[in-house]
Structure 1
């Protein structure tokens, strides 16, 4: 019975353990920063919870590695439409508002963020369809079909409204379409369409004043220092005060004083900047760089279109999320609810990140074509 859950040594030799080790280092480093941000009020609760999510993520990754990733292609429709179904439930029946957005589904004491799973479902669906089309994305019929599959979950996420996740999904689609060779004129038209959609949503009842202020406060945070600009100003003070080497672990005054809201989730990079300084920030970016470089190599060496597109989708997710999250903590990007992958506290984001990791590692592990 247990034999079914073993991975052959031949396949294990193809597994990139450097990626796994680097991700574990990032998660553990993140857990330490989460502890620093929460220990005054909650002791080791969040530290312990994050390490449990790490263990669960590694188990989930192993389970995904057992099965050939090509099997997933046959279940792409189910995975995609399940994600859509969860988004519809979230937008209608089980929605729970957090920080102005109804992006969380709460049933009793259990809560989850359906958009995280829908995002992964969208990547798998686009990969499956592009594989069926043999990569012929510039065929009008093919493009319209792909655009439809991409637009549906994004529209349901806009309704919440979760602008952060909408941005992530857009850049996932942009990355996949660009890598698939879509005509640059169409990409330009798509960006123009997004700008138009943003303008429409911005001036619609969906976009509450709270979100408008939140998204534009980074342009001039000092205009409302005690309101919409508080989080960014305190974050910049914390990161700036860290200097080159940082104040030291558990010695961050901005963090210990609770001056930075959401410092264990969205603004975890503020903790890194204050306590570990520029050196710690660069080290973290270096670790992300290793992971992204390795993932790109797996995408290039995949044996099929399905595997390559999944890799590109995961790379796009990771790259944009890192740039957006860090950017918003230093004031060069709008403030959204995008977490820092593998660093921020959160079960939904952590598990989907490890699911994505498992898929890419699976693709890399089975990159060699089987010859009969």
Structure 2
């Protein structure tokens, strides 16, 4: 057991330092933009808080790397069902409604988003099950079992309703299914099923008019310029007027004028686009490309199915979050409460992203058999 919780020098040499460097760059860049968005009202409060989360996240990674990631497989059931337990508490006793969705839980002074942590639990559970099944996902019994594990948390999130997080769950599962070799006809059927599910939820009492308006406002924001379309219009004005180099740090008129709601969380890319222009946006996209490329590389070199699928689940989750978040700020995706990984302010998303990073780095460190 001591070998499993001790990081040998040979293991340290296998650590992907580039991923850590890129993540630090993302958080620092994000912190600058968070400060720009909040300094007039809150001074350095959010800047300091985000940098504290960076330090906590790096310490958390150090702890995770002490353990062989394969040990997590033994606790997959506990992690998964604890996440489900949190979701049930969230939906019943401790729910806090933010922007029309009861996806936050408040216990005393602590407020967290259980769906972020349950997402990791679901990814770990499906990776564990696929490893036990030796990757045989096209066996109908195996497929049904995996899908049930995926549906349980998704149903609890739909109830909130948090459509953005539901989509993240769906595409995380889709990525894990795809890498495991699921028949493409089944994947196509799953996509069709998603469309049907969305149609059912859309016309059910769960879907309040607020959410319908919020999700469809990107199609024609001008129809309600002072209401549901205001956030997107302000974002587009800021990004569209930034030019190649941007307006400059702390010089954004839409951000500085307080015209973009949630500019330090969901709409952080609006700050990037307005103040740093095409150059800043390209820089951010390149950082994400490098990070996801490194993650996929680690997944392909994993020594087992569990490690490979675990990495891809986290990658798929992060990739969809990036595309959805950036897409909604430029008007090509529905507006949802999805944060931009390592950029947006928020403890729950930061911690789960750092935990995911730690798990992937652990898979990469132990992709080879180390002789002690």
**Fold agreement, TM-score > 0.5:** yes
Once the two structures are superposed, residues 329-355 of structure 1 have per-residue CA deviations (whole angstroms, 9 ceiling, x without a partner) of 000000000000000000000000000
1:7: how far off? 2.4
Once the two structures are superposed, residues 197-242 of structure 1 have per-residue CA deviations (whole angstroms, 9 ceiling, x without a partner) of 1111111110000000000000000010000000000000011111
Distance 1:108 1:178 in 2: 41
Once the two structures are superposed, residues 1-40 of structure 1 have per-residue CA deviations (whole angstroms, 9 ceiling, x without a partner) of x999762211110000000000000000000000000000
1:369: how far off? 3.1
Aligned residue runs from structure 1 range 67-216, under 5 A: 67-216=67-216
Partner-residue secondary structure (3-state), 2:77? helix
Distance 1:139 1:160 in 2: 33
Alignment correspondent of 2:270? 270
Extract unaligned runs of 5+ from structure 1: none
Distance 2:5 2:308 in 1: 25
Once the two structures are superposed, residues 38-66 of structure 1 have per-residue CA deviations (whole angstroms, 9 ceiling, x without a partner) of 00000000000000111111111110000
Partner-residue secondary structure (3-state), 2:102? strand
Alignment correspondent of 1:247? 247
Alignment correspondent of 2:25? 25
Alignment correspondent of 2:315? 315
Once the two structures are superposed, residues 80-107 of structure 1 have per-residue CA deviations (whole angstroms, 9 ceiling, x without a partner) of 0000000000000000000100000001
Partner-residue secondary structure (3-state), 1:104? strand
Alignment correspondent of 1:295? 295
Distance 1:92 1:33 in 2: 36
Alignment correspondent of 1:61? 61
Partner-residue secondary structure (3-state), 1:105? strand
Partner-residue secondary structure (3-state), 2:104? strand
Once the two structures are superposed, residues 139-177 of structure 1 have per-residue CA deviations (whole angstroms, 9 ceiling, x without a partner) of 000000000000110010000000000000000011110
Query: How many residues are treated as equivalent by the alignment?
Result: 371
Partner-residue secondary structure (3-state), 2:341? coil
Once the two structures are superposed, residues 252-288 of structure 1 have per-residue CA deviations (whole angstroms, 9 ceiling, x without a partner) of 1111100000000000000000000000000000000
Q: Structure 2 vs 1, CA of residues 308 and 4 (structure 1 numbering), >3 Å: closer, same or farther?
A: closer
Partner-residue secondary structure (3-state), 1:242? coil
Distance 2:114 2:9 in 1: 36
Distance 2:199 2:108 in 1: 36
**2:351 aligned with 1:363, yes or no?**
no
Distance 2:150 2:243 in 1: 42
Once the two structures are superposed, residues 283-324 of structure 1 have per-residue CA deviations (whole angstroms, 9 ceiling, x without a partner) of 000000000110010000000000000000011011111000
- Name whichever of 193-202 and 162-171 sits farther off: 193-202
- Name whichever of 323-332 and 362-371 sits farther off: 362-371
TM-score, structure 2 length as denominator? 0.98
Distance 1:288 1:4 in 2: 31
Distance 1:182 1:245 in 2: 44
1:371: how far off? 7.4
Distance 2:141 2:218 in 1: 41
Distance 1:305 1:67 in 2: 18
Distance 1:102 1:282 in 2: 34
Distance 2:254 2:192 in 1: 40
Partner-residue secondary structure (3-state), 2:241? helix
TM-score, structure 1 length as denominator? 0.98
Partner-residue secondary structure (3-state), 2:119? helix
Distance 1:287 1:296 in 2: 14
8 Å contact 2:6–2:67 — kept in the other structure? no
Partner-residue secondary structure (3-state), 1:97? strand
Distance 2:194 2:58 in 1: 36
